[in-house]
Structure formats: C-alpha cells, structure tokens
Amino acid sequence: MHRLIIFLCVLTLPVFAQGRRGRGRAVSNEVTLLKPARVFDGEAMHPGWMVLVRGERIDAAGPAVDASGAKVIDLPGMTVLPGLVEGHSHMLLHAYNETSWNDQVAHESTGLRVARATVHLRNTLMAGFTTMRDLGTEGAGYSDVELKQAVNQGIIPGPRILASTRAIVATGSYQPKGFSLEWRVPQGAEEADIDSIVRVVRDQIGHGADWVKLYADYRYGPQPGAHPTFSIEELKLAVETAHSAGAPLTVHSSTAEGMRRAVLAGVDSIEHGDAGTPEVFKMMAERHIPLCPTLAAGYFTSQYAGWNGKPPEPPGIERKRASFKAALDAGVTILSGSDVGVFTHGENAKEIELMVAYGMPPVDALKAATQTAGRVFHMDIGVVKSGMLADLIAVDGDPTSDITSLEKVRLVMKGGTVYKNPQ
C-alpha cells in the first residue's frame, strides 16, 4: 500500500533534477565548474577556489582548474562546501507540536506516514543535506529501506539514506503506552532480550539496515527518569553480531550508566548523551567513539512546552549545554545530528547553529556535519577534493563568520546532479 502512496505522491511533485526515473539514474559525464567566492573543503576556508565536477564525482578543486568545455555556474558572494550530513533523523516522524509521538505511532497509518516522508526527504535535500542517517522508523516497519530504494531509483528526490529499520529495545521498555494492560500494543521499535538479540540484529540487517540502532536506556521502570535497559553482555552480543555482518551499531543513551555500558561493549557511536559525565566522555574519547548530541531536539521540545527561546533557559537546556561542553572538553569526536522529526524537516541546520552557540568553533561545527560524518560513515563524502562524490552546496555568505548562512542554501548538487540552482 505504501509503495502505491509513494508513486501517487511523486505525481504531485515537481521534477527537481534532470535524469531518468525508474531503476536508477543514468550517470552523466557532464562537466560543471562551480565558481563561488570561496570554498570550504571540509577542513578550511579557501577564498578564490573553484570546483570542477565530472559526472558524479569531483574532478578538481583549487584556485586554478582546467575547465575546458565545462558548463559554468557562477556563484558570486557564495560559499561552496560539501553537502551537509544529518547524523540522526527520523524521516517517518513529523514535528511533535503538530502531533505527539504517541499519536503518530499509534494512530497514523504506514501509508500516510510514508507519503509525508516523501516531502520530508525533499525538504531535507533542498536544505542542503545530501546524506542522512535515519535511526528508526518508529513503528513503520522497513519503510526507511523502501524510501531509500525510491530515492536511489530516482523516483523521489532525497538525500543519500543510511537506514536502520525498526531499531531495537529491551522488552517492556518502550512505547506507545497508556493502553489497557491486557492489550499487547505494537511498539515503536522491535523488542529483544538476551535469548533473541542476535536473531533480531541479524534480521534487521537482513531487511536492509545499514546501521543497527539499540536503546541502551529509556524512561521505564517504577522510578522516574531514564534507566539502563540492556546489560553489557546483551550489548556486546549485539555489537559482535552487527560487526560480523559489516554493519556498525549505535545506541540511544541519555544516562551515564547506559553510555558506560555502550562504550565497554564497543559501539560505533552514541546518540544524545544528555547525562554524560567527564569520566564517560573520557572513555569515549579514548576509544574514538563519536557523540551525536541532538541539541536541536531539546531546543524545539522546550519551545513546544512554552519556552520562548530566550534566557533564562529551562533546566533541560542548561544540562544539555553542560554535557555538550563536557564532551568538547574531553575531546570527544562530535558528529552532527539533530533528531529531526521531533521538529520540522528542512530545519536541520539548527543543530549546527546550536553547536556553535553552545561553545563549538564554527569551523569545527562545519567539520562535524561534513568531514567527520564522511569518516564515521565510511563514505566518499564530506570533503571537497578529487575523487569524492560531487555532493556540494552553495550558501550565501561565509558560514565560518556567520553560521546562520547555512539557512541560505542557493545550490544543491548530489552526485553531480543539480537539484537546486540559483540561476
């Protein structure tokens, strides 16, 4: 049913890029020269540089390139930089001030959610995010993998997608809740325990998960707040199983103990880290485990609860500032990821702006959304140099001096195909 919905939605979408629809895009050998005022190559800003694209990859970048026969796109006053990466998204959710998580998961059909997700993917791409790691369909099965197929086949516009399918939670720890206790309500993620976690990890990889996602802690149990769910033994089993298949594994964790267990289990990244301590962040830094801080999720949910976005900040925002500073002070690798879906798709750049507002230098924040992401995801993205995928954007101004320039996206290119053009 939801495949049909995707098709019907496509009929109402404008064509945003040249290329064939159907089973994949034809790879073009077209040569394009981008001529901006400056280029951020994933490491530093270079005034006067140009970028030559041949087919789907970058051919050259620098102050002088051989552009014979190239189509020239002039970008006066603009900065060209690698396509931004969203490290933590939920394409099948929409903003919680529109509909609560519980109502989305319990009451919205998969077909409706998939139809909405096609718009989310387009808006994400148009905002300059050319790659996204989606960390759980929240009750929508394997729809992320199917949407990835639709993007890859040129049926709908969207970023490159790293899918994680259903995500994995400990039995009894997740949601939706609030129903009569004799009912077994479908959950927003797949349950597993010591006797089933190997099978569930393998099954999700078999259904197309590029990353495996577990919840190392969650808000459950007789006491208030979040508590660890999986034991170290369970986490180690999951990590070993995922790694045997060549799949990395990340965990949701907002408690110090959940994070500690995840680090000892050898996970590949940690999401949120709200209550991380200097000791836990030191462990992460020593083991080169990146943190995806999701600052924007708390920023927006606090506003949905009535905060006006100005001082004084709610206690949750103050705690998030403190934990992010502790991670920076410990030298933890930061991977930009916002938890978009909690808030509106297309506003992803808020995460990078908040990293700067919370103490990260603008160049480092840009690296977190480009070069670092490419390295963590083991993809040919995030750096402007010969041989890398031609995932490039242009923004008005200079984001190293004004990070909000990232909201002013004028050009979007993915794999050498222009999806948004200022001309």
What pLDDT digit, counting tens, does each position of 141-164 carry? 999 999 999 999 999 999 999 999
pTM, whole model, 2 decimals? 0.94
pLDDT digits (tens, 9 = 90+) for 36-86: 999 999 999 999 999 999 999 999 999 999 999 999 999 999 999 999 999
Contacts of residue 117, Cβ cutoff 8 Å, sequence gap at least 6 = 91, 92, 143, 147
Type of residue at 180: S
Question: Dmax of the chain from CA atoms?
Answer: 72
Exposure letters 98-127 (e unless 16+ CB within 10 A, then b): eeebeebbbebebbebbbbbbbbbbbbbbb
Whether the Cβ atoms of residue 242 and residue 279 lie closer than 8 Å to each other:
no
Q: Give how far Cα 218 sits from Cα of 179, 180, 215, 289, Å.
A: 19, 21, 7, 21
Q: Would you state the structure tokens that stand for residue 331, as one six-digit string? A: 């030298």
Check: CB of residue 250 under 8 Å from CB of residue 266.
no
C-alpha–C-alpha distance, residues 147 and 166, integer Å: 14
Given a contact cutoff of 8 angstroms between Cβ atoms, the answer to whether 104 and 113 are in contact is yes
According to the model, what pLDDT value does residue 45 have? 98
Strands 129-134 and 84-89, how do they pair?
parallel
pLDDT, position 191: 97
Q: Using CA atoms, how far apart are residues 351 and 294, in angstroms rounded to an integer?
A: 7
Which pLDDT tens digit goes with each residue over 331-346? 999 999 999 999 999 9
Q: What is the pLDDT of residue 24?
A: 57
Cα atoms in the Cβ-side hemisphere of radius 13 Å centred on 364: 13
- Mean pLDDT confidence for 173-192: 92
Q: What is the pLDDT of residues 359-410, one digit of tens each?
A: 999 999 999 999 999 999 999 999 999 999 999 999 999 999 999 999 999 9
SS3 label, residue 104 = helix
Q: Which domains does the chain show, CATH number per domain?
A: 29-83+383-420 (2.30.40.10), 84-377 (3.20.20.140)
Asked if the model's pLDDT at residue 7 lies above 80, the reply is no
What is the distance between the alpha carbons of residues 32 and 300, in angstroms, rounded to a whole number?
39
CA distance 319 to 282: 18
In the block, tokens 């064509």 appear at: 15
Specify the amino acid at residue 211: W
